[in-house]
């Protein structure tokens, strides 16, 4: 149990997220400094690349909101674990008043209530653990949806770019040099749209997946801590108390 507490306390998800975001911002500043961002915006008349960038920023802010929530839940879980391990009998007796606010504390209160209602039967927390896992995950699944959406937008830009590139070929008069020159320019513009949107969509999707992977890892650690805490200290104590009552 002590190893779980050390692991949970030393792996606050906010710091890795800030480091990753800081590196990403530094890379963005470099691209802006060398004019690559401006060239991308100017070369994409469809504005799909800009839309992908805005969606990436919005999704990153959502990830930050979830990271802060999970960070608070981790602190609350540690306090609940310290209360249960330090004075388990009093905590289980007082229940609501002895535990700090948090999802892990709510899970422990549900276990105490269930044990009191079912009497001397064996306490099975499988269903309650599923509820706890669902509450901890919250809207984390939005990350997979957002990442997939960015990639699909990039592919959409690729298709639109190829359409823009191939459209001038239809009805092209090869003997008219001005028409050929104009068509080559339009084909180049279409290729730029296809390449830039694909690049931005793939990069945004990968970067977003990394952010939500950090979030999911922190969520899984809290859940593992809750399972360890309740199985070792809460369930065993409640089952031992039931015959005596």
CB 180 within 8 A of CB 174: yes
- CB burial of 155-180 (b: ≥16 within 10 Å; e: otherwise) equals ebbbebbeebbeebeeeeeeeeeeee
* Closest alpha carbon to 165 in 137, 142, 148, 184: 184
pLDDT digits (tens, 9 = 90+) for 190-224: 788 888 899 999 999 999 999 999 999 999 999 99
Q: What is the pTM of this model?
A: 0.84
- pLDDT of the residue at 6: 46
Most confident of 98-107, 149-158, 228-237: 149-158
The model's pLDDT over 51-87, given as tens digits with 9 standing for 90+, comes to: 999 999 999 999 999 999 999 999 888 888 887 777 6
Q: What is the mean pLDDT of residues 149-169?
A: 85
Distance CA 93, CA 244 (A): 14
**How far does CA 63 lie from the centroid of its chain?**
5
Mean of the per-residue pLDDT values of the chain: 82
Q: Where are the domains of the chain?
A: 2-244
Question: Integer distance in angstroms from the first to the last C-alpha of the chain?
Answer: 28
């Amino acid at each position: 149990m002590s190893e779980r507490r050390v692991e949970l306390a030393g792996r606050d998800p906010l710091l890795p997220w800030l480091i990753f975001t800081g590196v990403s911002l530094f890379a963005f500043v470099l691209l802006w400094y060398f004019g690559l961002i401006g060239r991308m915006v100017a070369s994409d008349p469809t504005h799909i690349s800009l839309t992908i960038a805005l969606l990436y920023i919005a999704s990153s802010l959502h990830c930050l909101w979830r990271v802060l929530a999970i960070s608070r839940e981790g602190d609350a879980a540690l306090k609940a674990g310290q209360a249960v391990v330090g004075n388990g009998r009093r905590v289980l007796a007082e229940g609501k008043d002895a535990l700090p606010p948090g999802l892990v504390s709510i899970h422990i209160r549900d276990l105490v209530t269930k044990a009191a209602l079912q009497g001397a039967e064996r306490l099975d927390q499988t269903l309650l653990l599923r509820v706890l896992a669902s509450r901890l995950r919250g809207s984390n699944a939005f990350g997979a949806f957002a990442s997939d959406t960015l990639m699909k937008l990039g592919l959409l830009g690729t298709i639109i770019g190829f359409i823009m590139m191939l459209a001038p070929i239809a009805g092209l008069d090869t003997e008219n040099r001005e028409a050929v020159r104009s068509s080559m320019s339009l084909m180049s513009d279409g290729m730029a749209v296809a390449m830039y949107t694909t690049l931005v969509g793939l990069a945004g999707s990968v970067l977003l997946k990394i952010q939500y992977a950090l979030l999911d890892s922190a969520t899984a650690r809290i859940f593992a801590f809750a399972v360890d805490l309740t199985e070792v200290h809460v369930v065993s104590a409640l089952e031992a108390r039931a015959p005596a009552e």
